[in-house]
Amino acid sequence: MPAGPRPDASELVVDREILVCCGPGGVGKTTVAAALAVEGARRGRRTVVVTIDPAKRLADALGLDTLTDTAHRIDGDWPGELWALMLDPRSTFDGLVTRYAPEPGQAEAILANRFYRNISGALSGTQEYMAMEKLFELHNDERFDLVVVDTPPTRNALDFVDAPRRLTRLLDNRLFRLLMMPARTGFRAVNLATQAFLRTIGKVVGSEVVSDAVTFFQAFEGMEDGFRQRAQGVQVLLADPCTAFLLVTSPRRDAARETEFFAQKLGEAGIDVEALIVNRMHPRFPPVGAGEAPVPALASLYRNLCDLSRLADGEEAHVAALADRVGAPAVRVPELETDVHDLPGLSRVADYVFAS
Amino acid sequence: MDPRTFCAQSRLVVVAGKGGVGKTTVTAAMARMAAGLGLSVLIVEVEGKTGLAAAFGAEDLEYDERELAPGIRARSLTPDVALVEYLEEHGLRRISRRLVKAGLVEVVSTAAPGIKDILILGKVKQLERAGVADLILLDAPAAGHAVSFLMSARGLKEIVRAGPLHGQADDVLQMLNDPSRCRVLLVTLPEETPVNEVVETAFALEDRVGVDLGPVVVNGLYPVLDGLDVDAAAAGAALGPDEARALSEAADFRARRQELQQAQVARLAAELPLPQLHLPTLFTVDLTPPDIDVLATALAIAIEALPAPAGVR
């Protein structure tokens, strides 16, 4: 962990080029990412936010009524620019395949393969990988100077950081090599042991499944290097000081527990978390006397204050423990009365995040 | 409805809901309630690190079954281990571990989406058939995966057209479509987005999976507290102005929240024709075994308030 004071959230929005919002599901991560992007635009930056599965009304507010892989500009009263897009792992992946295929025919063969068509939906980590890929692409896009990325809900923060490596690891996998062997050695030369092996697996999982996979890996032959280099490029970018990781969470038990786990994993991977944003905090009211109602008529009022104080104390304890673990100050955003689903709502969240 | 009748409706109950709605809490409370009725309960967790064990003051779960409390056992299922077991049962004992280590699950599950889910559900079906407990509670995957998780059997049948896995999918589908064997208990919060999502999930499950839906559990409701409209400044002789203000601001907050929650509960009732089971918030961020007991009691009371089932069992 570097010495010296930590930057606050405002500095991050002004100084950095990439903000990655990590955290468990159900804490309002998409909302916070969008609010950070609004702040970016308010600070004069040409900001783009990559959202993942926003709630419908927020998507509408951001003009993301259909799943689109292209950035869409949102007008607002700010000196900078605000753009938004919703991640479409499938078309991002298609773009990658097309880019790295040595010839168009090979790309077509892969894009039409059933195994490939399942990849974006089924291969664990693909969504994370494509979020990273999109981030890389947008960072290189001259229209933008700040990229804010929301991350898919996951149990392990490293699923995201590791995602680019994951596909290349998959391609290096021994089992895959075995499946690719027919392409390498020519079909006739496939050794009998491999054939028997594939037949046995086929018996259990179905022969179509095996033949789809074999065809896919044959079609992929020769493209691993391109993917590997790209994955390295993303890794380098993530480790660059222009990138900041922010942890978004809520003070609720499960979320706090998962966030602590996230922070630990990120720390182990040598990634500093530069801000901790705790969303949906309950309000704290000043304590009253000894906490006992002096007259029976006030019993409910005292009882309520006691309930709410207990909740606020518990939340505060979680936040303090988290801030300590993460080594970054906690920024608190109160629980709002209604869900955020318009630009004024996002601005309000941004006001809380950047209040200090 | 008698909680005993409720528990006897199906051996398997899948508890499903989006992340953060308290699915694990509900699973724990339901287990506690059933165990309190003298039933043996097995909780099956599929994602790991859900905090279920912690709610019982125990260490994290593993594949092997463990007792969490009297009458409550629990285990964690992972696709990898389920696949090893599956391969072993299908004559691939010698190479199964090596295959799994080499990443077979990744390859195969990419080739046939849903295979991981079917491996888990297949194992659950096996437990259900074997009658390993009076009640099996499956803490389903979060984050909107519940539908695809339960859809996996149908999807897989289309991809794998023959063989043991096809048979496995068939068996799972049969179980899911039989209300006397399996029900889904959806969990939500009385808030806008969770309500929207649970409505969407409920319809998707009914239309696309054909699984029987039990009542919707609405978690985290503020218990209604009468007397919040008392004027603190007028009623409290010895209160300073700051104290009176704190009390009345807190009361306003609570009253407003209750109102918003009730509006969401009413909207849920209007949009989703399923009975609701209400569970209170306990104003705590750490759920301890005594908290689970409180929720188990609340759950039993809510179930008793449900109308008795029309037909016989």
> Which chain B residues have a beta carbon less than 8 Å from that of A295?
235-237
Q: Is residue B14, in this structure, part of any structural domain at all?
A: yes
**CA-to-CA distance for B1 and B215, rounded, in angstroms?**
12
Residues of B in contact with A153 (CB under 8 A): 19, 142-143
Residue A1 lies in a domain: no
List chain A residues with CB under 8 Å of B49.
Answer: 155, 257-258, 261
Nearest-CB residue to A204 (from B18, B143, B165): B165
B12-32 pLDDT, tens per residue? 999 998 877 888 899 999 999
Query: Strand A273-281 to strand A330-334: parallel, antiparallel, or no bridges (unpaired)?
Result: parallel
In a domain, A127, yes or no: yes
Q: Is the pLDDT of residue B207 over 70?
A: yes
Which of A205, A261, A304 is facing B108, going by the closest CB pair?
A205
Please tell me the distance from the alpha carbon of residue B116 to that of residue B124, in angstroms, as a whole number. Answer: 13
Lowest mean pLDDT across B15-29, B99-113, B220-234, B241-255: B99-113
Question: Average pLDDT for residues A54-69, to the nearest whole number?
Answer: 70
**What's the mean per-residue pLDDT of chain B?**
86
- Is B57 part of the contact surface with chain A (CB cutoff 8 Å)? no
Q: What is the count of residue pairs from A and B with beta carbons less than 8 Å apart?
A: 201
The predicted pLDDT at position A49 comes to 94
* Domain count along chain A: 1
Is A55–B226 a contact, with Cβ atoms under 8 angstroms apart? no
Alpha-carbon distance of A285 to A54, in angstroms, equals 32
pLDDT on residue B164: 76
- Selecting from B19, B192, B250 the residue whose C-beta is nearest the C-beta of A24 gives B19
Q: Chain B closest CA to A299's CA: distance in Å?
A: 8
| Nearest-angstrom CA–CA distance, A16 and B201 | 39
Buried b (16+ CB within 10 A) or exposed e, A89-110: bbebbbebbeebbeeeebbebb
pLDDT category of residue A187 using cuts at 50, 70 and 90: very low
pLDDT given at position B86: 80
B204 lies in some domain: yes
- CA A134 to chain centroid: 11
Q: Which residue has the higher pLDDT, A17 or A224?
A: A17
| pLDDT given for residue A333 in this prediction | 93
Instruction: Tell me the pLDDT tens digit for each residue of B123-142.
Output: 999 999 999 999 999 998 76
At A165 the pLDDT is 67
Question: Distance (Å, rounded) from C-alpha A174 to C-alpha A168?
Answer: 12
pLDDT band at A189 (very low <50, low <70, confident <90, very high): very low
**Better-scored residue on pLDDT, A354 or B165:** A354
Note the pLDDT tens digit of each residue in A196-223: 777 777 777 777 777 777 777 777 777 7
Please give the tally of structural domains in chain B. Answer: 1
Stretch B195-220: mean pLDDT: 91
Q: Are A48 and A80 in contact (CB under 8 A)?
A: no
**Interface pTM, i.e. ipTM:** 0.85
Query: Which residues in B lie closer than 8 A to residue A286 (C-beta atoms)?
Result: 242-243, 246
Answer whether A173 sits within 8 Å of B287, measured CB to CB.
Answer: no
B233 touches chain A (CB under 8 A): no
pLDDT at B78: 82
**Range with the poorest average pLDDT among B73-77, B94-98, B106-110:** B106-110
CATH number of the domain at A152, please.
3.40.50.300
A249 domain residue, yes or no:
yes
For the segment A307-351, what is each residue's pLDDT rounded down to a tens digit?
A: 999 999 999 999 998 898 888 888 999 988 777 888 888 999 999
Contact between B250 and A285 under an 8 Å Cβ cutoff? The reply is yes
Q: Do A135 and A18 form a contact (C-beta atoms < 8 A)?
A: yes
Which of the residue ranges A59-63, A233-237, B227-231, B274-278 would you say has the lowest mean pLDDT?
Answer: A59-63
Q: Is pLDDT above 60 for A267?
A: yes
Whether A186 has a pLDDT exceeding 70, the answer reads no
Q: Over the stretch B145-187, which tens digit does the pLDDT of each residue have?
A: 677 778 777 777 776 777 777 888 899 999 999 999 999 999 9
Tell me the CATH number at B50: 3.40.50.300
| Set of chain B residues whose Cβ sits within 8 Å of the Cβ of A310 | 283-284
Q: B106: which chain A residues are within 8 Å (Cβ-Cβ)?
A: 123-124, 170, 173
Per the structure, the complete domain to which residue B186 belongs is given by 3-225+273-304
Residues of A in contact with B228 (CB under 8 A): 300-301, 304
Q: Which pLDDT score is estimated for A167?
A: 65
pLDDT of res. A188:
45
B47 CB within 8 Å of a chain A CB: yes
Shortest Cα distance, chain A CAs vs residue B131, angstroms: 26
A273 and A246 Cβ atoms separated by less than 8 Å:
yes
Q: Is the pLDDT of residue B293 over 60?
A: yes
* φ, ψ dihedrals at A160, nearest 5°: -75, -50
Mean pLDDT of the region A63-89? 84
Band (A173; pLDDT cuts 50, 70, 90)? low
- The closest of B42, B54, B45 to B7, measured between CA atoms, is B42
Query: Which of B51, B111, B250 is facing A257, going by the closest CB pair?
Result: B51
Contact assignment for B51 to A254 by CB distance below 8 Å: yes
Kindly tell me if the per-residue pLDDT of A37 is higher than 90: yes
On chain A, the residues whose CB falls within 8 A of the CB of B230 are 297-298, 300-301
B20 touches chain A (CB under 8 A): yes
Range of the domain at A281: 9-172+225-353
Lowest pLDDT segment from A120-124, A322-326, B190-194: A120-124
Instruction: Quote the pLDDT of residue A304.
Output: 93
Spatial CB neighbours of A350, under 8 Å, sequence gap ≥ 6: A35, A36, A38, A39, A42
Q: Nearest CA of chain B to the CA of A45: how many Å?
A: 31
Confidence grade of residue A44 (pLDDT, cut at 50, 70, 90): very high
Q: How far is B296 from chain A (nearest CA, A)?
A: 19
Q: What is the mean pLDDT of residues A128-155?
A: 86
Q: What percent of chain A has pLDDT over 90?
A: 26
| Predicted confidence band of residue B270 (pLDDT cuts 50, 70, 90) | very high
How does residue B4 score in pLDDT terms, banded at 50, 70 and 90?
very high
Q: A55 vs A10, which has greater pLDDT?
A: A10
Average pLDDT over residues A175-192: 54
The Cα of B262 is separated from the nearest Cα of chain A by a number of Å equal to 13
pLDDT for A4 equals 44
Q: Please indicate, yes or no, if residue B29 is contained in any of the structural domains.
A: yes
Residue type, A152: P
